[in-house]
Amino acid sequence: MRTEDHLVGTSIPRFTYDTPSSPGNDFYRLCAGDKPLAMIFLPAFDHPITRTYISRYLKTLDDLKGVKLACVVRSGPRQVAQALEGRQLPFDLICDQPGVLYNFMGVETAGLLNWSFEAQRILRSAQAKGMRYDHKAPQLLPLTLVLGEEGAILFTHYGRNLTDMPGDCGAIYTLCDEVCELTRKAQQAPQKAKAGPHSDETLTLPDLAGSLEEEEDALSKLFD
């Protein structure tokens, strides 16, 4: 798996997010505790690949064994709530219709070369069942994160095709277990320097987008 090692050791800023049933949730509260958080970025909730993978996670949820799971979808909370028809998911579904988190984390879109055989099978099956989606629109590639407390990034994997992500909760658990073991070994090694304290400021998703733009402006001035 191709990892973006330069992000490991950094943190996602604190922000609030909406789920289909609850607005204004604290992201750092989601990350709190000694259990790692697996965060999977998917397309819109009504996309066949999103539906397929969320179904797989639901069916294998017992395999998480102490790992927390959150899925990010490119849909609004009201839209997802209507699709769920009052049902509650046993893990957080972060609704990011504007794509703020996707842009912040640099999630890319796919071309035809990124359509894996598995993706083609899922999409053809969805078409046969009458599910509609905009196949002409750019298709979002998945992103898999493993996070610690206060949004600390322990692992990242940017999918190389539409289905390049953990296939079920067993795979998620194995990934998180390996990442946590590597993290423990790294913490036992001599530390050169400690990171500065985290900000107590809590951002909303739109605020997070503004914060990112400010950082980009500051970086661009360095090269003026």
pLDDT digits (tens, 9 = 90+) for 43-96: 999 999 999 999 999 999 999 999 999 999 999 999 999 999 989 999 999 999
Say if residues 11 and 153 touch (Cβ distance below 8 Å).
yes
State residue 109's pLDDT score: 87
Q: What's the sign of the alpha-carbon dihedral 101, 103, 108, 111?
A: positive
Is the pLDDT at 193 greater than 60? The verdict is: no
Is the pLDDT at 151 greater than 60? The verdict is: yes
**Given the DSSP bridges, would you call strands 203-204 and 15-17 parallel, antiparallel or unpaired?**
parallel
23-28, Cβ contacts within 8 angstroms, sequence gap of 24 or more: 23/77, 25/92, 26/202, 27/151, 28/149, 28/150, 28/151, 28/202
185: pLDDT confidence band, cut at 50, 70 and 90? confident
CA 56 to chain centre: 16
Q: What is the mean pLDDT of residues 106-129?
A: 80
State residue 208's pLDDT score: 62
R_g of the chain, CA atoms, integer Å: 18
| Residue 199 structure tokens | 């900000």
Backbone angles phi, psi at 7, to 5 degrees: -85, -20
48 residue type, one letter: P
**Given the DSSP bridges, would you call strands 143-147 and 153-158 parallel, antiparallel or unpaired?**
antiparallel
Backbone angles phi, psi at 158, to 5 degrees: -90, 115
Average pLDDT of the chain to the nearest whole number: 84
